[in-house]
Amino acid sequence: AVQPQVPYLTGLNLEQRRAVETLEGPLLVLAGAGTGKTRVLTTRIAHLIATGRAFPSQILAVTFTNKAAREMKERITALVGAVAEGMPWLGTFHAIGTKILRRHAELVGLKSDFAILDTDDQIRLLKQIIRAENLDDKRWPARQLAHLIDSWKNRALTPDKVSAGEAQGFANGRGAALYKLYQERLKVLNAVDFGDLLVETIRLFRENPDVLARYQDRFRYILVDEYQDTNVAQYLWLRLLAQGRQNLCCVGDDDQSIYGWRGAEVDNILRFEHDFPGAAVVRLERNYRSTAHILAAASHLIAHNEDRLGKTLHTDGAAGEPVAITGAWDSEEEARQIGEVIETLQAQAHPLSQIAVLVRISAQMREIEDRFVQLGLPYRVIGGPRFYERLEIRDALAYFRCVVSQADDLAFERIFNTPKRGLGDATLQILHAYARHAGIPLMQAARALIETEELKPKQRSTLRDLLAAFDRWSRQLETVPHTELAEIVLDESGYTTMWQNDRSPEAGGRLDNLKELIRTLEEFPDLQAFLEHVSLVMDASEGDSHERVSLMTLHAAKGLEFDTVFLPGWEEGLFPNQRALDEQGRAGLEEERRLAYVGLTRARKSARIMFASNRRIHGLWNATAPSRFIDELPEAHVEVKEAPAAFSYGNYGRSRFDQGSGAFGSTYNTPGWTRARQNSGPGFGAPTGAPPGGRRGGGHGHTIEGEIVARAAASSA
């Protein structure tokens, strides 16, 4: 219908073009990874604007992450140039919900400057409510209620809609009543939680048809990426907005639905065709991203799922290299392998920005980060701060810096009143003024000031103690091994205790990180060498945002692509994750397999699947067996590179995993694996540095930590 010479349309294949040019009426693009769904969406927006069918402000596009929204904005600008009429409404469900809700806050009993609670606040508030109701919050933990309320909100259930049966599970049927109290408290506080951003907008629309009508009229075209991961509330929200003009275009891939545990419903795809009768459906089958080997491996793997709509994928691209499989004795060696391969690639001028390491749970990251830091490889963590950027690590480093140099003002300022010791801003101001005046560092100024009447006696004595402590630690630099000294500093300063007394949910993780920090110190001769190294790594990766390896969870990798992808930790119990299997059985296994499919299909040219026979998670060693997913890969498209001596891809027969009763239930004939399996139990058989006994039992098999991308982005460390 449109001039074929339009530059942004050339280069699209026929089906993609149909998807771009079918502008009126509902449209569903259902297609596998790398077939250009996101590209179609972006081009559609460009096309709508370029042909004058809609002003940018009349277009609403929903992406899964804020990052994806930014990228889409850039691509649209590149396609049609800067547009005078502003930009489309482009963002996550939550971002757009917030925008709408702020405009009409008073209609749902809020003020427009309402606060958005993060998970911590939410749990704290629920705990108050549980206690106020004279319930035992040990028996009925706030966290569990928070989870329950989230799951209701994911289904757009307001307190009055929660069925008696569903409320049964918490505090003998009082779940719904507590939910109601919670909502009332939120109103009083002029606050909402994440779920409310949608649920309250839905309520706004339902109770105010005129407001809804205005938005229905305004948004002539609505587009949604990653549609397979929408939950019921998001679906209802979309349906309300799209019902007017019916110009709703959703793109998705049922094989990439990986947020079922957060309430996403693949059924929304089926519902779409039901709710929007006559919807056009476009299927894209040509993959433009990956080499033939990678695509074949991924397609073969996902074919093991029963619960799928099914689709074919092909590529006209090169065969490329087979998917590499490498085994390691333990997770440290795995991290070393990753570092080695990346260094080789770097030597061949492979851009680091085109390399990603995708892990199943974020606890896997630390060993890899440590390795990167040791090698001086710049990297970034997507969906969370890098190890050395975390709050507790920065604090600890600041202490170490002051021990090494009493002239480090930035470091001193950071820990001067952390943990809280009654040295407030006023005291700091006085120190600053004096230091500036005398041209000396803060600590030296403090030393002078405690001899005067400038400061109150209480602050004087606190400062005196602090300075004395630093003097002591500085002297110990010569006499005490540096790892021990690091622990002494964190203990004696009260820093460790501060986190031990902290009741917030992240406190445990922060203590783990501090332990990890001490462990990393072991690899350096002294504190100075370590600090120098850290500052170099931080520096190297700050300025140049392009040249960095990306490290993230598989969940956070959705929609992205990289030339080279590392997939470590393909072990039973970790991946597929034991908790997913325990809680959801076959459905859980299939979601894990979809996650594996997402991981593999991020790679353009090279994918490397890795496993270790022993893994340390949260400081605990576990003996592990290779993931069943490895066995499900087609032999013709994989190549075993490095592996423990006894491992050979071809000869650990397929049947072994098929018979296996799930994680840790398979048997291994080869001597290497038998040994690895017998060595189970924390600390046993681990090569070096295994902690004697562990903080927690059970090991890694019990956490699912898919990044909650939107939340992670909203709350910073």
Q: Name the residues annotated as catalytic.
A: 37-38, 225-226, 256, 602
For Mg ion, the closer CB: 559 or 599: 559
Q: Rule CB under 6 A: is residue 594 a binding residue for ligand ATP?
A: no
Question: Quick check: 11 binds ligand ATP (CB under 6 A)?
Answer: yes
Q: Single out the segment in contact with Mg ion by CB under 5 A; choices: 302-310, 554-562, 564-572, 671-679.
A: 554-562
247: nearest Cα among 234, 258, 256, 238: 238
Q: Which two tokens stand for residue 468?
A: 């004395």
* Closest distance to ligand ATP from the beta carbon of 226 (Å): 7
Q: Any known ligand binding at 36?
A: yes
Compare residues 63 and 577 and give the one whose CB is closer to Mg ion: 63
- Which H helix or E strand runs over 402? helix 391-404
The 8-class DSSP code of residue 403 comes to H
440 contact choice in ligand ATP, Mg ion, none (CB below 5 to 8 Å, kind-dependent): none
Pairing type for strands 603-617 and 562-567 reads parallel
| Cβ neighbour number for residue 330 with a 10 Å cutoff | 23
Instruction: Kindly state whether residue 289 participates in binding ligand ATP, applying the rule CB under 6 A.
Output: yes
Which residue in 228, 309, 250, 223 sits closest to 595, CA to CA?
A: 228
From residue 25 to residue 64, the character string flagging contacts with Mg ion as x (rule: CB under 5 A) and all else as - is ------------xx--------------------------
Least CB distance to ligand ATP at residue 12 (A): 5
**CA separation for the pair 362, 386 (Å, rounded):** 11
Q: What is the residue whose two structure tokens read 């065709």?
A: 273
Cis-peptide, bond into residue 56, ω within 30° of zero = no
Give which of ligand ATP, Mg ion, none residue 22 binds (C-beta under 5 to 8 Å, depending on kind). none
Minimum Å distance from CB 614 to Mg ion?
36
Place of tokens 């600890």: 396
What secondary structure, in 3-state letters, does 421-454 show?
CCCCHHHHHHHHHHHHHHCCCHHHHHHHHCCCCC
**Binding track, positions 13-42, relative to ligand ATP; x by CB under 6 A:** x--x--------------x-xxxxxxx---
Min CB(90)–ligand ATP separation in Å: 16
Q: How far apart are CA 184 and CA 202, in angstroms?
A: 18
Provide the mask over 657-696, with x wherever binding to ligand ATP is found by CB under 6 A and - wherever it is not: ----------------------------------------
650 labeled binding residue = no
Supply the Cα-derived Rg of the chain in whole angstroms. Answer: 28
34 labelled ligand-binding: yes
Q: How far apart are CA 450 and CA 454, in angstroms?
A: 8
CB of 37 to ligand ATP, least distance (A): 3
When the beta carbons of 516 and 591 are compared against ligand ATP, the nearer one is 591
Residue from 45, 349, 92 nearest 234 by CA = 92
HEC secondary structure over 305-335: CCCCCCCCCECCCCCCCCEEEEEEEEHHHHH
* Cβ closest to ligand ATP, residue 36 vs residue 263: 36
- Look at the block and give the residue holding tokens 């400062």: 463
The identity of residue 435, as a single letter, is A
Task: For residue 104, give both structure tokens.
Answer: 């009409």
Stretch that binds Mg ion, among 512-520, 527-535, 556-564, 580-588 (CB under 5 A): 556-564
Nearer to Mg ion, 29 or 486 (CB): 29
Binding-site size for ligand ATP (CB under 6 A) equals 19
Residues 552 to 571: which contact ligand ATP by CB under 6 A?
559, 561
- C-beta of 34 vs 626, nearer to ligand ATP: 34
Query: Is there binding between residue 354 and ligand ATP (CB under 6 A)?
Result: no
Dihedral sign computed on CA atoms, order 446, 447, 453, 455: positive
The pattern of x and - marking residues 558 through 577 that bind Mg ion according to CB under 5 A reads -x------------------
The count of other CB atoms within 10 Å of the CB of residue 345 is 18
> Is position 31 annotated in a ligand binding site?
yes
Cα–Cα distance between 285 and 313 in angstroms, integer? 5
Closest CB to ligand ATP belongs to which residue? 36
Site for ligand ATP in 406-435 (CB under 6 A): none
Range in contact with ligand ATP (rule: CB under 6 A) among 10-18, 187-195, 202-210, 518-526? 10-18
Minimum CB–partner distance for residue 68 and Mg ion (Å): 8
Q: What's the chain's length in residues?
A: 717
Q: Which residues are annotated as a binding site for ATP?
A: 31-38
Which residues are at the interface with Mg ion (CB under 5 A)? 37-38, 559
- List interacting residues with ligand ATP (CB under 6 A): 11-13, 16, 31, 33-39, 253, 256, 288-289, 559, 561, 601
